[in-house]
Amino acid sequence: MGSTYRLADVAAIAGVGSTAFGRFPQRGPIGLAVEALKQALADATLTRDDVDGLVIHMGNPVGIDYDQFAAMTGLRTTFNVQLWTHGRWIGAALEQAAAAVALGLARCVAVVCAAKFSVLSQLGGAEDVEASREGGGSHGEAPHIGLMAPGSGAAMSARIYLERYGVTETDLAAVAIAARQAARRNPAAWRTEPLDVDTYLASRYIIAPLRVHDFAQVTDGACAVLVMRREEALDRTPAPVTIRATQSLPAGPDEFIFGRGGLGRGQEPMSAHRPAPRDLEIYARAGVDRKEIDALYTYDAFSPLVWFTLERFGFCGEGEAAAFCVGGGIAMDGPLPVNTNGGLLAEGHVAGWNSVVEMVRQIRGACGERQLSRAENLQWATAFGDSFVLSARAR
C-alpha cells in the first residue's frame, strides 16, 4: 500500500544540535533554541542564511513560537509550520520538513524544539488550560473530577495492561531501569543515579500504578535538526543521515494517545491486538524489514508507552512486551536496544528530539561508550503510531 508514498530516501538530516539538559532558571527557551540551532549549523557546515524553513514543535509557554524566534534571531524563513504544544508531533514534524524540501517549498528546514518545562510548576493541574477542553483533554483529562496531568492517561492504560495480561508493577520497573542504565553511559544525561527494582518499588507513587520513575524528567533544553534534500546534503554537508521514510500521526475513534489499540481506551471495544497494516507500512516505505532495525527510539514520557510501542509495531506479541523488557530485550546489549541516550525517562525531556539527535549521532558512530555495535537502520516509533527510519545509506 506504500505505492503513493514519494518521500523515501529523498531527504536527509544534514546537522543536529542540542543543549545541555537540566534546570536552567537563567535561560529562556529562545536562548536554548538558538544554541541548539547554532550547533546544528556548525555540524552541517552551514550558516544562518542557508535556513529558509522552520518547523517548530512546542510553542509558548514551554517552547518557542516561530514568529518571535525568527524575528529575534534574524532568521528570514519563507516556509513556516508550528505544531500543537504536545510531544506527539515528532514524526509529523520531521515529515513536514522532509516534504517541504522534497516539494521545493524550502531548501533547508530547521526543525526546532525548545522545552523549558521548569516554567510550569507541574505538568498538569490548574494551569493546564487544554485539559479542560469540552469533552475531555487530549490525554483523557477531566479536571472537574481531579483527573489531571497527562500521566493519568498513561496510568489508566497501564492499569488495563497490568490486569489483562497478568503483568506486575515489578515488571514495569524494567523499563525505567533500562533507561537509567543507558543514561549512565551518557555524559549528557540529567538523571544518572543507579536504579534497581528495590529502589523502584520503594519509590513513591505519583498516579498509581505509575511511580516517580515512570515519569519523564522535567528538564529544560532544546534540539535542532536540519533537513535538506539528500542530494544537496551529500554535496554540501559532511555527514548527512538519510530519512529512509516517514509515517505521520494517526487519529480516529480507535486512537488514544497513551495506549495502543485493543486496550479499550476511549470508546472503542476492547479487542485482541495485532499490528495494523497502516502501522507496519513504515517498513515497506523505508525498504527496511523490522528485523533489520538495530535500535528503537520512542516517546517514553511515561514508561508503559514503551510496552505499547513494542506491541503496536509488532516487535512483541500482544501482552508480551513486559516480559521482553524484564528479560533485557530493550537493554543496550539486548536484541532491541531502546533509547540508547536514556530517553525522556532519564536523559531529559525535549519532547523526544533529544532521542532523534541520538539516532543521528549513533548512525555516525559518534556515541563513545554507548555506541551501538551496529547502527545501520534506526527506527523512531511511538505508542501513538508515528514513525520514521534513519540510515547512513539509501536504497
Smaller CB separation from other proteins, 28 or 266: 266
Neighbours of 20 (CB within 10 A): 15
Footprint on residues 83-122 left by other proteins (CB under 8 A): 122
Q: Does 133 bind other proteins (CB under 8 A)?
A: yes
CB 62, CB 69: distance < 8 Å = no
Footprint on residues 269-328 left by other proteins (CB under 8 A): 270
Q: How far apart are CA 50 and CA 155, in angstroms?
A: 44
Smaller CB separation from other proteins, 194 or 253: 253
**358 in the Ramachandran plot: left (φ > 0), alpha (ψ -120 to 50) or beta?**
alpha
What's phi and psi for 146, nearest 5 deg? Answer: 85, 10
CB 351, CB 87: distance < 8 Å = yes
Contact track, other proteins, 153-192, x by CB under 8 A? --xxx-xx--xx----------------------------
Smaller CB separation from other proteins, 162 or 276: 162
Reported as type and span, the H/E element at residue 345 is helix 343-346
All three cell numbers of 276: 495494523
Footprint on residues 31-90 left by other proteins (CB under 8 A): none
Give the burial class of 252: count Cβ atoms within 10 A of its Cβ; 0-12 exposed, 13-18 middle, 19 or more buried: exposed
Of 171-179, 260-268, 284-292, 304-312, the segment contacting other proteins by CB under 8 A is: 260-268
Place of cell 522535567: 218
Instruction: Tell the smallest beta-carbon distance from residue 135 to other proteins (Å).
Output: 4
Q: Which of 3, 4, 26, 267 binds other proteins (CB under 8 A)?
A: 267
Q: Which of 143, 262, 337, 385 binds other proteins (CB under 8 A)?
A: 143
Q: Which of 134, 193, 333, 369 binds other proteins (CB under 8 A)?
A: 134
Smaller CB separation from other proteins, 86 or 159: 159
Smaller CB separation from other proteins, 143 or 337: 143
Of 18-26, 86-94, 234-242, 265-273, the segment contacting other proteins by CB under 8 A is: 265-273
Reference 82, options 122, 33, 47; nearest CA is: 33
Instruction: Tell the smallest beta-carbon distance from residue 61 to other proteins (Å).
Output: 18
Reported as type and span, the H/E element at residue 247 is strand 241-247
All three cell numbers of 156: 489508566
**345 in the Ramachandran plot: left (φ > 0), alpha (ψ -120 to 50) or beta?**
alpha
Footprint on residues 240-259 left by other proteins (CB under 8 A): 253
Size of the site for other proteins (CB under 8 A): 38
Kind of pairing between the strands at 11-18 and 220-229: antiparallel
Q: Which of 2, 22, 31, 209 binds other proteins (CB under 8 A)?
A: 209
Instruction: Tell the smallest beta-carbon distance from residue 318 to other proteins (Å).
Output: 17
What's phi and psi for 7, nearest 5 deg? Answer: -105, 5
Residues in contact with other proteins by the rule CB under 8 A: 122, 124-126, 132-136, 140, 142-149, 152, 155-157, 159-160, 163-164, 204-209, 253, 264-267, 270
